[in-house]
Amino acid sequence: GAAECALVIGEHAVLSILTEQIMHYAKCIEDKLHIFDISVRILMHRSDMSAAIACGIEVLSKLGEDFPKEVTPDVAIHFIEETNEMLDDMTNEKLIDHKAMSDSNKIMAMNFLTRLFEAFFMIRPSDQPIVVLKMVQLSVKHGMSPMSPLAFALYGSFLASMGNIHEGYRYARIAKALLEKIGSRRVAGAVIAYSTQLMAYAEPVQSVINFHIEGGKA
């Protein structure tokens, strides 16, 4: 809409007026979500990552998804163990054929988590794994959204960084299959970039070159 156009061309003064009007007349959280998303993007464009993260976490809370205020080692371990338990009986086939996410609030939560991942990368990279684990958990519990292929590609990268290349490669393959099934191109470049890094450890480089080239075009 008009707000999206104002963001793209950098008309922040116009955008502020439009967002204030929408916020004033909006009757429910669903009416405000798109503006919240634009607000987070504006803050990121201005390199105000702390404010972008705070806004994203506030929106997640409104969507019923709390994010820890502080990521301590105990919090990280809890998220890892909880995710492992949820994935314990999920074969590759079960994950790839898993139901589609239908709850609009959860779909939006996945979108905001993706924004948070980008913001955390800039100022709090140690908190990124919690975002990834949260995205995987939502995908398993509520179904696959257009952001789920990225969630599993990042999860595979996380596992590989912890020394588990075999499992990391497994989730890279799952991410690739989900991307092909869901068909969303919004995060295709990132999915392919993370996945090919892992696939190159387990497959001949020649076999992943075409997939890598596709990522460059996405």
**pLDDT(150) > 60:** yes
CA gap 167, 169 in Å, rounded: 5
Mean pLDDT in residue range 186-203: 85
**pLDDT(10) > 70:** no
Non-local CB neighbours of 96 within 8 Å, separated by 6+ positions: 174, 177, 178, 181
Q: Environment class of residue 77 by beta-carbon count within 10 Å: exposed (0-12), middle (13-18) or buried (19+)?
A: exposed
DSSP, res 28:
S
pTM of the full predicted structure?
0.84
**Sign of dihedral through CA atoms 18, 22, 23, 24?**
positive
Q: What is the mean pLDDT of the chain?
A: 85
- pLDDT-derived band at 45 (thresholds 50, 70, 90) equals confident
The pLDDT, as a whole number, for residue 202 is 78
